[in-house]
Amino acid sequence: MSVSLPAHPFGTVQSGSERSVQRIVLVIQYLGTHFHGWQRQSHHRTVQEEIERAIHEAAGYFITLHGAGRTDSGVHAAAQVAHFDAPRHIPAHRWADILNSRLPPDVLIRASAGVEPSWHARFSALWRRYRYTIYTDACPNLFVRPFCWHYYHAPMDVNLIQAGLDPLVGRHHLAAFHRAGSGRPHSWVDVQVAECTRRGSFIEIELQASGFLYGMVRLLVGMLIEVGRGDRSPESFTEIWQQQRRDLVKYAAPPQGLCLLRVGYPDFPISSELWFDSQPHLDFRSSSSVYACPT
């Protein structure tokens, strides 16, 4: 019995015996600034394509890389997970070093391992977790700009934001935070965690769910800003998504503040030290509390 590796638009894929092929899982970090998202596209640079090209250089033929989820243009990932089928003569744990030597500086493979042939990066996942970071200091800072939304127009009350987040936990119809253009047939989401934390000048909003709608986190954060500055009550925020008022959700938070933090699986062969919390927290004292920011 033979098994064919997945077809790829760049070329013809070779086939081999079932015993000559192994499934490889990767834990991937990338800076989304100069990527047009995860998914391969015809005329834009994407993370999937960069890694597939690196695998092609190493293996000698093209494969399809399957990711746990698709991030939008400009969105980062601290521990994206993906898998592909590769020749068995290359040890599974060696793929991380092999690919890192061929990848550009804004993509990094944290680790690689072998998994069962039935394991799937997307369909085996139990949950995904995202973090959105907001920088609230009055002074801009070049060294945090690529990783957060610099929002300084009004004080942010994290208790109000948390009060808006609390009712989201559970299974809900979140069509109010579902951008057009998605192929998903429904807007039901099982939200497991919804937390807001302040760390000095930074506010972090973390959401964990079995899956996310297209554009959901950025639309949700865009409206939570109104809650945090006191322009909209937490009750009003909840009423909007409960009534599915997509017409009242006007603005999406910018992409650079969003990071795919991690993906959860029932049995994962890679140590949690390499994927569980690999986006460093931005946390320092507000400069405006020490010096007056020039205007």
Q: Which residues are catalytic?
A: 72
Q: Residue with structure tokens 């008022």?
A: 245
Task: Check residue 74 and give left, alpha or beta (phi > 0: left; psi -120 to 50: alpha).
Answer: left
The DSSP symbol for 178 reads -
Give 154's strand partners.
none
- Direct distance between the N- and C-terminal alpha carbons of the chain, in angstroms, rounded to an integer: 71
Alpha helices, DSSP H, located in 63-108: 95-100
Phi, psi of 201 (to 5 degrees): -85, 5
Helix, strand, coil content of the chain in percent (nearest 5): 25, 30, 45
Place of tokens 């497991």: 192
